[in-house]
Structure 1
């Protein structure tokens, strides 16, 4: 049996595992991108009800941003 035929099953197994890992990483990256876009959309909708930004008193705006972030944190994943 030649060396190429002896190692062919090992090479095929390694290639299969690497392909699976590549597809898994691509899926995770795609899902993270979708989640971030969904989070951004919901955050903007939540912030639509926030008080207007006042450079002299940013506390109400920051409180609204914190509330929106905390309310969305457990819903997006």
Structure 2
């Protein structure tokens, strides 16, 4: 049997607001639960659409830079590749 492990990173702000969070990093691994081996890996940065400029807090918290998300792909394309 297999397990997919996903660890999204999303947009965020230090202050509370009503902005919806958007995925900015989509990493995943396919783990063979019988052997413990990683069978496959997937990783991409995702371009946020609603708030395309990352907050300084977001970059500080996640380590993801504006340049990385700008070089990323839209979420719809990411999902089709996954």
Instruction: Place the TM-score, normalised by the shorter chain, in its bin.
Output: under 0.3
Larger radius of gyration: 1
Greater per-residue helix proportion: 1
